Amino acid sequence: MTRRRPALLVSVCAAILLVGACSSGVDIAEPTISTTLPQTASEESSQTPTSQTPTSQKSTSQTPTLPPPYIEGADWVDTEVGPSLQVRPTRNGRDVSGGTAGDEAWGEVLALHPDADRPGMRAQFDCHWTFARLVDPEKTSWNLEPRRPVVSESEMISTRCNPGFPEEK
């Protein structure tokens, strides 16, 4: 059975890989979470859950910090590696945080170009959304190519969101 690393740790290591400071052989240990269960009924009543949001809640439930639109435009162009959808994020798309913003941004891409819904294209977009915004926040466009192979998340990260062949110039 494969153990999944917490998303934050995967994101941190992936960002490091994208800037070339982390080797693919580095393994990040999972954090240890210690919990103490109540032993008696009185201890249990003193540990009744409150209405506060748990701190371990996944980021996917967080409301985006900036409003859409997140995508300024997207255009199909011919490049040396073949057709490429050049996605241009808005300022809010470059700066937003919150778990649902990436899904909303991909929805904006599909509203502009429904033909972008091809194997591997969403994974390339997600990689750019997660990491290109950190590594090169002012990059003019994120280029998604339908000819790139569908790969694992770790291979997508290790190839800097460009699996199969180098990034076009």
Summarize pLDDT for 95-109 with one digit per residue, the tens. Answer: 999 889 999 999 999
Instruction: Show the tokens assigned to 133.
Output: 């915004």
Would you call the peptide bond into 69 cis, given omega within 30 degrees of 0 as the criterion? yes
Q: CA gyration radius for the chain?
A: 20
Task: Determine contact, residues 100/65, Cβ cutoff 8 Å.
Answer: no
Determine the Cα–Cα distance for residues 85 and 116; give it in Å rounded to an integer: 8
Determine the Cα–Cα distance for residues 134 and 142; give it in Å rounded to an integer: 13
Average pLDDT of every residue of the chain: 75
What one-character DSSP code corresponds to residue 57?
-
Is the pLDDT score of 86 beyond 90? Answer: yes
Give the pTM.
0.66
Least confident residue range of 40-44, 140-144, 147-151, 163-167: 40-44
